[in-house]
């Protein structure tokens, strides 16, 4: 079990993974109640939403607009959960769905599967003429195929966003990007496709998002759009143009699709980044894991289930066979180790990593991790822990010299392990490449 640290005083995470060994990189101290293993979700089928306003359950799907048996399987899975609402992170329609009439495209890709969640849709199609929900319960984002295959006009003509009676700031003046409130969470939807193409639009969306995140008093702030800021997929991969300062602006979770995979990433900035693109389109492969990648899955289609309360967010990615492939927990539990400094510098051919703590509690020791700056496998440099102070209100200073450091640029993390074997991760700290002519060992 792993605890995590990033943004001081903000969010803490417990992450229990089934797809990959559970590790974490979020803000602060957190605790896994149990190490979870894959299990069937088939028996969890409430007949009606019964969540109070302070608790909401939602499904997250991406790249689902194929209108085929795979999309149906995911919709059936979600229907069994009976969530309060659904977030869709883009590519809500693909040309492969085969609807020539723009007025019927989203009825085919969305209405025929999610009619119970839709309200005030406009279509000449017959699957879901207007929607069956009392208020809108389906909140999509635009993807690149919504532009190229469906046409943004078809998207805007079909959906009414966020929907009548749905609370939100109403500040964007657009249905391409918008916000809404549900329970203890505030959701912010961004149009990444246009933002990546159009610098003026990007600046407008960034200014809007930054202002609205700052103005929001919600316990949890969730941003979602199509193109993933960080992704280990070998098909698209990370999107540098969407690596906005979400942590500095106050976000807690960032959700995306585009890559047809599931992935959970923590960079140490206090934000959980999730890719959820297995809603229907064919899965993509993985390349080398990006820094902070904690769980990866791409075998079967599936969806992400989030339960949000005032106290915590619990997430589970479930494949269409009902098996839970990954689980994580975010809460506000205090930190066990308060780190107030982490630095790295070249000492000739070696690298010195130094850090200090402001306080420690039940602390066993530190482990030093190295990774190439260009991403790649992590190397544990201290299989024997660097001894810690145990419990110290005043904290302490620590130092490690990596005498086998490569000449190339590298990153270092510090894992703090407590007396129960749980781990907090701190970092990374980046160290530049050695000057020309100084190879490792010289």
Q: Is residue 406 located within the same domain as residue 287?
A: no
Nearest to 379 by CA among 350, 408, 413: 413
Q: Is residue 270 located within the same domain as residue 380?
A: no
Task: Summarize the confidence of residues 423-440 as an average pLDDT.
Answer: 78
Express each pLDDT in 229-286 by its tens digit.
999 999 999 999 999 999 999 999 999 999 999 999 988 677 999 999 999 999 999 9
Q: Is residue 289 located within the same domain as residue 411?
A: no
Question: Does residue 414 fall inside a structural domain?
Answer: yes
Residues 115 and 127 sit within 8 Å (Cβ to Cβ): yes
**What pLDDT, on the 0 to 100 scale, is given for residue 333?**
62
Flag whether pLDDT at 45 surpasses 90.
Answer: no
Question: Does residue 368 fall inside a structural domain?
Answer: yes
**Which H helix or E strand runs over 80?**
helix 69-81
DSSP for 386-437 reads EE--SSBSS--EEEEEETT--SS-EEEEEEEEETTS-EEEEEEEEEPPPPTT
Per mean pLDDT, which range of 42-51, 364-373, 415-424, 426-435 is the poorest? 42-51
Nearest to 327 by CA among 336, 317, 341, 313: 317
**Which H helix or E strand runs over 56?**
strand 56-61
CATH of the domain at 224: 3.60.21.10
Taking residue 245's Cβ as centre, other Cβ atoms within 10 Å add up to: 12
User: Which is it for strands 85-88 and 56-61: parallel, antiparallel or unpaired?
Assistant: parallel
Question: Does residue 370 fall inside a structural domain?
Answer: yes
**What pLDDT, on the 0 to 100 scale, is given for residue 363?**
80
**What pLDDT, on the 0 to 100 scale, is given for residue 427?**
83
| pTM of the predicted model as reported, rounded to 2 decimal places | 0.72
Flag whether pLDDT at 185 surpasses 60.
Answer: yes
pLDDT band at 52 (very low <50, low <70, confident <90, very high): very low
Flag whether pLDDT at 9 surpasses 90.
Answer: no
Q: Is residue 291 located within the same domain as residue 421?
A: no
Q: Is residue 259 located within the same domain as residue 388?
A: no
Question: Does residue 411 fall inside a structural domain?
Answer: yes
Q: Is residue 75 located within the same domain as residue 207?
A: yes
Express each pLDDT in 282-328 by its tens digit.
999 999 999 888 899 999 999 999 999 999 999 999 999 999 999 98
Question: Does residue 404 fall inside a structural domain?
Answer: yes
The domain boundary residue, chosen from 276, 298, 320: 298
**What pLDDT, on the 0 to 100 scale, is given for residue 40?**
38
* Structural domain for 112, as ranges: 50-298
Domain tally for the chain? 2
Task: Summarize the confidence of residues 72-92 as an average pLDDT.
Answer: 98
CA atoms of 405 and 396, how far apart (whole Å):
25
Question: Does residue 217 fall inside a structural domain?
Answer: yes
Give the three-state DSSP class for 307: strand
CA atoms of 175 and 161, how far apart (whole Å):
6
Flag whether pLDDT at 35 surpasses 90.
Answer: no
Q: Is residue 160 located within the same domain as residue 105?
A: yes
Q: What's 103's DSSP letter?
A: G
Flag whether pLDDT at 43 surpasses 70.
Answer: no
* 382 backbone dihedrals φ, ψ, rounded to 5°: -130, 75
CA atoms of 23 and 10, how far apart (whole Å):
19
Q: What's 323's DSSP letter?
A: B
CA atoms of 56 and 84, how far apart (whole Å):
6
Q: What's 38's DSSP letter?
A: -
Question: Does residue 241 fall inside a structural domain?
Answer: yes
Q: Is residue 59 located within the same domain as residue 171?
A: yes
The domain boundary residue, chosen from 242, 277, 298: 298
CATH of the domain at 377: 2.60.40.10
Give the three-state DSSP class for 28: coil
Higher pLDDT, 271 or 393: 271
Question: Does residue 96 fall inside a structural domain?
Answer: yes
Q: Is residue 258 located within the same domain as residue 160?
A: yes
Q: Is residue 107 located within the same domain as residue 164?
A: yes
The domain boundary residue, chosen from 241, 272, 298: 298
Distances (CA, A) of 64 to 89, 106, 126, 166, 280: 9, 11, 20, 24, 4
Q: Is residue 170 located within the same domain as residue 256?
A: yes
Q: Is residue 291 located within the same domain as residue 341?
A: no
pLDDT band at 438 (very low <50, low <70, confident <90, very high): low
Residues 182 and 56 sit within 8 Å (Cβ to Cβ): yes
């Amino acid at each position: 079990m792993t605890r995590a640290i990033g943004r001081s005083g903000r969010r803490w995470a417990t992450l229990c993974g089934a797809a990959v060994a559970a590790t974490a990189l979020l803000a602060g101290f957190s605790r896994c109640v149990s190490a979870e293993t894959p299990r069937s979700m088939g028996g969890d089928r409430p007949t009606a939403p019964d969540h109070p306003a302070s608790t909401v359950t939602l499904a997250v799907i991406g790249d689902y607009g194929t209108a085929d048996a795979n999309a149906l399987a995911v919709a059936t899975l979600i229907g069994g959960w009976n969530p309060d609402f659904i977030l869709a992170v883009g590519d809500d329609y693909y040309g492969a769905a085969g609807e020539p009439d723009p007025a019927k495209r989203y009825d085919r890709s969305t209405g025929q599967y999610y009619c119970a969640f839709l309200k005030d849709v406009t279509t000449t199609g017959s699957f879901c003429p207007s929607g069956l929900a009392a208020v809108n319960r389906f909140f999509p984002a635009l993807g690149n195929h919504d532009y190229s295959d469906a046409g943004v006009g078809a998207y805007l003509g079909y959906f009414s966003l966020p929907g009548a009676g749905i609370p939100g700031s109403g500040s964007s003046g657009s249905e391409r990007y918008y916000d809404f409130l549900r329970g203890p969470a505030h959701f912010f939807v961004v149009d990444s496709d246009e933002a990546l193409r159009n610098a003026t639009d990007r600046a407008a969306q960034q200014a809007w998002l930054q202002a609205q995140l700052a103005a929001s008093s919600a316990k949890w702030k969730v941003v979602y759009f199509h193109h993933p800021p960080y992704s280990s997929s070998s098909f698209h991969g990370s999107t540098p143009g969407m690596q906005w300062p979400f942590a500095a602006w106050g976000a807690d979770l960032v959700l995306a699709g585009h890559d047809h995979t599931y992935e959970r990433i923590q960079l140490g900035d206090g934000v959980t980044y999730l890719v959820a693109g297995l809603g229907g389109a064919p899965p993509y492969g993985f390349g080398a894991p990006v820094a902070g990648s904690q769980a990866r899955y791409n075998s079967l289609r599936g969806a992400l289930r989030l339960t949000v309360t005032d106290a915590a967010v619990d997430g589970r990615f479930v494949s269409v066979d009902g098996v839970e492939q990954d689980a994580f927990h975010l809460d506000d539990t205090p930190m066990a180790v308060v780190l107030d400094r982490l630095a790295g510098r070249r000492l000739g051919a070696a690298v010195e990593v130094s850090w200090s703590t402001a306080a420690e509690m039940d602390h066993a020791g530190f482990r030093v991790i190295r990774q190439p700056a260009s991403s790649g496998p992590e190397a544990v440099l201290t299989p024997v822990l660097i001894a810690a102070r145990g419990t110290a209100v005043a904290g302490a200073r620590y130092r490690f010299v990596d005498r086998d450091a490569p000449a190339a640029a590298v990153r270092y993390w510090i894992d703090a392990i407590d007396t129960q074997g749980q781990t907090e991760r701190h970092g990374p700290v980046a160290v530049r490449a050695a000057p020309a002519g100084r190879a490792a060992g010289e």
